[in-house]
Amino acid sequence: MHHRPRILAVIGLAAASAALLAACSGGGSGGDSTPAAAKGAKVDLASVCPSTIVFQTDWNPEADHGQLYEMVGPNPKIDSDKKIVTGDLYSQGAPTGVKIEVRSGGPAIGYQTVSSQVYSDKSITMGYISTDEAVQFSDKFPMTAVMAENDTSPQMIMWDPSVYPKVKTIKELGEALKPGATVRYFKGAAYMSYLTGAGILKESQTDGSYDGTPAKFVADKGVSGQQGFATAEPYIYSHEVAAWNKKVAFQTINDAGYPIYPEALSVRTGDLEKLTPCLKKLVPVLQQADVDYFKDPTAANKLIVDLVTAYNNGWVYDAQVAAYGVKTMKDLKIASDGDNGYVGDMDESRIQKIIDIDTPIFTATGSAPKAGLKASDLFTNEFIDKKISLGF
């Protein structure tokens, strides 16, 4: 399963926490935060889609979700209690005739998986489902991905390059770890079972007690490694954690051989046929929102930061981190057209690789995937418009 929790209200580091919170100050109203893409041909979704298209994310608002906030039209309504924003669904500066509702995940849904949330609340149209989560719950909560918001995962393992100056990969980190040092992560993460099963790390080197704060990493002076997201922690640790205030090095789990699609937009498999007329029009809108967000993320990022402030649940995220996230997604090809010149499609061989890696892992932990699971059970590219490209 793809674990998102990474609360960075710095426990035990009051100065850093105060700096982060101050950077997030701002109003919660959405009027000035509305993404405004260039005018394009108007898309009519009203005749084929639900009157409100509900998206369930897997975490608090952040740049990794920029595509969704790009589609929120003027004067959105913010529900600070439920951590939901609602507005007219816009595409390239024009309304589409339906509403959009973006729901936060993580603490907003009691840290439930998106899969279970989507099945417990049938008002949700789509959810963010990473490939390994789709594999794990393919029997109990079958989901079909219709678009990959990003091409690779920003999940990573990081370390202090001043402690391990020759280390370039997670495997090299495992070989170089000092006696008693570990790699901290959120317990239950499937990618860690892959890293240990593949011999990249020894199980004895791993520590599943990570709590989302930098306290232990700072306290042990970077001797241990730690999980994080390439789109956030490298900036936060080098600019906003005052007790650290220097660079970290990292390798993504994708580059270490675990090529999940993170946060793929997915529907309940049983609803795929019913939603097909909608998806034929909606998926190209989602692709275009991705393109428009990366062309100019300013307004969507302002909405994201305003929502974080309004939700006020301990998640700390400012405009500088959002800008870093966008740059990193482009620089590391986390967001990309892949090898075919258009955005959002998924590769069958990659999904099959995750099935092959994760089936024994989840079976051993009592959450066996669907018997005879195939990659084609988990995704479809049929709604992807091959003319829509990120262009970078």
- Enumerate the H helices of the chain as residue ranges: 14-23, 66-70, 114-120, 131-136, 170-176, 190-197, 215-219, 233-239, 272-295, 298-311, 319-331, 348-364
User: Is 199:177 a contact under the CB 8 Å cutoff?
Assistant: no
User: Residue 196, SS3?
Assistant: helix
- Would 3 be classed as within a structural domain? no
Number of domains into which the chain is organized: 2
Which structural domain range is residue 94 located in? 30-152+260-318+335-377
For 282-298, the pLDDT digits (tens) are 999 999 999 999 999 99
Q: Residue 191: give its domain's CATH number.
A: 3.40.190
% residues pLDDT > 90 (the chain): 87
- Would 330 be classed as within a structural domain? no
Of 252, 273, 288, the one marking the end of a domain is: 252
The answer to whether residues 192 and 211 belong to one domain is yes
| pLDDT exceeds 50 at position 15 | no
The answer to whether residues 98 and 237 belong to one domain is no
User: Residue 105, SS3?
Assistant: coil
% residues pLDDT > 70 (the chain): 90
Residues 6 or more apart whose CB falls under 8 angstroms from that of 353 comprise 259
The answer to whether residues 74 and 91 belong to one domain is yes
The answer to whether residues 364 and 284 belong to one domain is yes
- Would 126 be classed as within a structural domain? yes
User: Is 55:103 a contact under the CB 8 Å cutoff?
Assistant: yes
Give dist(CA 184, CA 114) in Å, integer: 24
The answer to whether residues 179 and 279 belong to one domain is no
Structure token digits, residue 242: 């005052």
Question: Which residue shows structure tokens 């603490």?
Answer: 107
| pLDDT exceeds 90 at position 171 | yes
Q: What is the pTM of this model?
A: 0.90
The answer to whether residues 166 and 71 belong to one domain is no
Nearest to 181 by CA among 154, 159, 197, 166: 159
Q: What is the mean pLDDT of the chain?
A: 91
Give dist(CA 49, CA 95) in Å, integer: 14
- Would 9 be classed as within a structural domain? no
Residues 6 or more apart whose CB falls under 8 angstroms from that of 22 comprise none
The answer to whether residues 36 and 93 belong to one domain is yes
The answer to whether residues 134 and 170 belong to one domain is no
Provide the pLDDT for residue 212: 86
Provide the pLDDT for residue 41: 64
Report which DSSP code applies to 209.
Answer: B
Q: What is the mean pLDDT of residues 103-132?
A: 97
The string of DSSP codes covering 116-158 is HHHHH-TT--EEEE-HHHHHHTTTTS-EEEEEESSSS--EEEE
Give dist(CA 24, CA 320) in Å, integer: 10
Report which DSSP code applies to 162.
Answer: T
Q: Residue 292: give its domain's CATH number.
A: 3.40.190.10
State which H helix or E strand residue 181 sits in. Answer: none
User: Is 52:88 a contact under the CB 8 Å cutoff?
Assistant: no
- Would 325 be classed as within a structural domain? no
User: Is 29:306 a contact under the CB 8 Å cutoff?
Assistant: yes
Q: What is the mean pLDDT of residues 79-100?
A: 98
